[in-house]
Structure 1
Amino acid sequence: MEIIKSLLIFVLAGLCEIGGGYLIWLWLKEDKPMWFGLIGAIILIAYGVVATWQSANFGRVYAAYGGVFIVMALLWAWKVDGFKPDNYDIIGAAIALIGVCIIIYAPRTT
């Protein structure tokens, strides 16, 4: 059950980071109203809080989160921006996820 909770926290953190960043991107690059940027900033702050809900230490969580971010960014680009990941994107994302699982979920002796 701890692994499922951890994975859900990673997904929620990813949605906050990518969603908040996307709103700021739209504000600055697509001439959306300033409230897009303000809401994006609030969501990015929420990302910082959500990431603290992980039980592992800071360095391990942020190292692993990089791999989760790769996968989620590709999924976001595919579903929101219409970007179609190719086989190399998918292979790279799978390798990153394997790395995440090793970093976070491998049994430790200490």
Structure 2
Amino acid sequence: MPGFTIAAYVGAAVAEIAGCFAFWAWLRLGKSPLWLVPGVLSLCLFAWLLTLAETDQAGRAYAAYGGIYILSALGWLWAAEGVRPDRWDVIGVGLCLVGAAVILWGPRTA
């Protein structure tokens, strides 16, 4: 069911960005090391959510996830950093999403 995999990927992307931002906040913004606690938990959630992708190969799940992550990162750029993605960002993420769909749902021979 493609919808379930997409939902798992979107959740994984949010968890990964949140976890990575916690480290960014600590190391680059001078926040407390306590930011690492929710950051590590979020990264663990990210890893677990990736296992829910409906594919038997981990590498294929990770490769297809890349497109969703790129889309989410641009969403973060806009929502959290106040920088609106430009047309090249939109074109690039479109290409990545098409590639992710081909990787995940392309016809395979046994």
Give TM class, smaller chain. over 0.9
Structure 2 Cα separation of the partners of residues 5 and 66 of structure 1: 16
Q: Give the deviation of 1:53 after TM superposition.
A: 1.1
Alignment-derived partner of residue 54 in structure 2: 55
Structure 1 Cα separation of the partners of residues 16 and 92 of structure 2: 20
Farther off after superposition, 5-14 or 21-30: 21-30
1:29-79 deviation digits (Å, cap 9, x = unpaired)? 111111112211111111111111112110101111111111110011110
Q: Give the deviation of 1:109 after TM superposition.
A: 3.1
Report the TM-score when normalising by structure 2.
0.93
- Opposite residue 77 of structure 1, the aligned amino acid is L
Alignment-derived partner of residue 24 in structure 1: 23
Farther off after superposition, 29-38 or 84-93: 29-38
The CA RMSD over aligned residues, in Å, is 1.0
Q: Please show how residues 18-97 of structure 1 align to structure 2 within 5 Å.
A: 18-56=17-55, 57-97=57-97
Hey, which bits of structure 1, 4+ residues long, moved more than 3 A? Answer: none
